[in-house]
Amino acid sequence: MAALNQFFAIYGSLVNFIGINALLALSLYLTLSAGQLSLGNAAFAGIGGYTAGILTMKCGVPFLVSVAAGSLLAGVVGLVLGLPVLRLRGVFLAIATLAFGEVVRIVVLNLDITGGAQGLVGIPNITTTWGIYLALAVSGYAIARLRYSRVGWCFESIREDETAAETMGINTTYYKTLAFTLGAVLAGFTGALYAHLNYIITPGEFGFSVALDLLIYNIVGGIRVWYGPVLGAALLTALPEILRGTGLTAGPIRMAINGLILLLVILFLPNGLASLFERGGRGKPTAFGAAVSEEA
Amino acid sequence: MLLEVNEVTRTFGGVNALDGISLAVEKGGVHGLIGPNGAGKTTLINVLSGIIAPSSGRVFFDGSPVHAMPAHRLAARGVARTFQNVRLFPAMTCLENVIAGQHLVAPRPFLPILFCLPSARREEAGYGQEAMACLRRVGLADRVHVPAKALSYGERRRLEIARALASRPRLLLLDEPVAGMRQKGVRQVGSLIQSLAAEGMTILLIEHNMSFVMGLCSTITVLNFGRTLITGSPDEVSRCPEVIEAYLGVSEHHA
């Protein structure tokens, strides 16, 4: 017990960061699972974080209500942004969300209510480690089950071949917008948790580099199964600490090793680290594994 | 008539890919669509399945106008199709491809699946059986858990038909279902199409394999340069001089 306490005293904030990054990576995973590349999930986290932080600090709203409000607003913004863009195919969503992220950052930087460049300071410290990991467990499980619902099959079909999906009766615009909006809600939710973790949030924490990190977590971890992005986020978030443990100091070396890991994964594990954990046989074809047997 | 095409045109830039096509497809029949390359066959199938909209003209499916509908709404009416350049879900297994094809017939609601309710388990088992039946029907029962990208060319074509069948369509549009297949595969697909038609499904197919088309179709429509040359029985079509001319050309001193 004492050892555990000591571990938490040293690595508590790292453990929290891993949980937060894993949740954000999952939010992007939702969008990616329908084949849509979003570079706006960091900005959605910012919207959720600032909304919840302001509500808690300046309006005295209870924690859970402000978290819900932050998630909801991020979702609504996602829906409004996604509807026109997702009628199109291809890279338009990536470009639109990239621009959107910058707009959010600049707006937050220039508003008074968000505290400008200094950030929003003095948010009550309410989020706990177990709260983060409870959220991670629930969203991970829900996303894993979603895979076998009609919505999940639609996402997969659209990712594999949008035209074929359309001719099977899938309203691709609807489901693409759904995937994007669900991702925005989860990102907003995570941002709201994060805002109540460290007393302060600043615009830079929700910038383009974070959006890109989320994508790298997904690629390194693997985008075929729900635990892929969690693995990727855990490994790459803990990497500086691991390197410090082996005597390498953080800094430029960290960036180089980050890049090296990304390169090795792309070359040798196209389905990410998660493919190391897959059993020999094929993945479960249905929601309940053995529901279908070959000689049936 | 299950399907009626009325003066449909489709232009791409200045080219009239379809130039006033009219045809009617009878319920429960196997209707062949033939013609030289560039005649507009695939364009017509694309219009009929809602992938592209006609520039003008009307299409009626089961009596109601469908020419302005997007593909997914046409699919909901009961139109399924395959593609000339097979479009499967490559990373999914055969079974998963067919399960994905059940979109219109299997609601698979999220909450019962989330809580692993027995009702969801029962329903899923039923859908699984149905998917297996589709695979068995096209002769892929031994390839259930093989990813689609690992299949041979002929198997891919058959899997695509199985996926189309999963939505229990009323009209099945097949774009060159036996292209590049060997004799055995051609015969398999032929008898599959016959048995589907015997159950009341309507089939409209494009194919260049003439013995296949002549042996299978009750009615054949010949297209050339975006126009209908003739619609008739295989006999009538093979005796029609314009068809012979379209396929073989006409020698100068006879012209």
B103·A172 Cβ contact <8 A: no
Task: Using CA coordinates, name the residue in chain B closest to A281.
Answer: B145
A285·B110 Cβ contact <8 A: no
Q: What pTM did the predictor assign? A: 0.93
Residue B226 CA to residue B247 CA, distance in Å, equals 14
The pLDDT value recorded for residue A242 is: 85
Task: Using CA coordinates, name the residue in chain B closest to A158.
Answer: B89
Mean pLDDT over residues A94-117, rounded?
A: 94
The pLDDT value recorded for residue A293 is: 43
Residues of A in contact with B100 (CB under 8 A): 153, 156-157, 165, 168
B113·A145 Cβ contact <8 A: yes
Which of A71, A81, A69 shows the shortest CA–CA distance to A39? Answer: A81
The amino acid sitting at B112 is P
Structure-token pair, residue B204: 């409209």
Task: Using CA coordinates, name the residue in chain B closest to A288.
Answer: B121
Q: With H, G, I as helix, E, B as strand and everything else as coil, classify residue A135.
A: helix
- Over 70: is that where the pLDDT of A285 sits? no
Compute φ and ψ for A200, nearest 5 degrees: -145, 140
Residues of A in contact with B104 (CB under 8 A): 168-169
* Nearest-CA distance B170 → chain A (Å): 13
Parse chain A into domains and list their residue ranges: 12-295
CATH architecture of the domain with range A12-295: Orthogonal Bundle (1.10)
Q: What whole-number percentage of chain B has pLDDT above 70? A: 98
pLDDT digits (tens, 9 = 90+) for B81-116: 999 999 999 999 999 999 999 999 999 999 999 999
- Over 80: is that where the pLDDT of B140 sits? yes
A282·B93 Cβ contact <8 A: yes
Mean pLDDT over residues A227-243, rounded?
A: 92
Sheet of B171-175, strand order: B79-81, B171-175, B202-206, B30-34, B219-224, B227-232
Instruction: Number of A to B CB contacts under 8 A, please give it.
Output: 132
User: What residue has token string 């220039």?
Assistant: A110
Which of A139, A101, A105, A104 shows the shortest CA–CA distance to A25? Answer: A139
* Nearest-CA distance B104 → chain A (Å): 6
Q: How sure is the predictor about A90, in pLDDT bands with cuts at 50, 70 and 90?
A: confident
| Helix or strand run (H / E) with residue A24 | helix A2-32
Query: Which of B103, B129, B132 lies closest to A169 in CB terms?
Result: B103
Using a CB–CB cutoff of 8 Å, tell me whether A286 touches chain B: yes
The pLDDT value recorded for residue B253 is: 60
A145·B163 Cβ contact <8 A: no
Sheet of B56-61, strand order: B15-25, B3-12, B56-61, B64-65
Using a CB–CB cutoff of 8 Å, tell me whether A142 touches chain B: yes
Residues of B in contact with A171 (CB under 8 A): 70, 72
Residues in a beta bridge with B206: B33, B175
Residues of A in contact with B90 (CB under 8 A): 160-161
| Residue A132: CA count within 13 A, CB half-sphere | 25
Sequence-distant (≥ 6) Cβ neighbours of residue B84 within 8 angstroms? B42, B175, B176, B179, B206
Q: Report the relative pairing of strands B15-25 and B3-12 from DSSP bridges.
A: antiparallel
Residues of B in contact with A281 (CB under 8 A): 145
Mean pLDDT taken over chain A:
91
Interface predicted TM-score (ipTM) of this complex, two decimals = 0.94
Mean pLDDT over residues A8-20, rounded?
A: 92
Task: Using CA coordinates, name the residue in chain B closest to A155.
Answer: B100
pLDDT digits (tens, 9 = 90+) for B39-71: 999 999 999 999 999 999 999 999 999 999 999
Residue A218 CA to residue A202 CA, distance in Å, equals 24
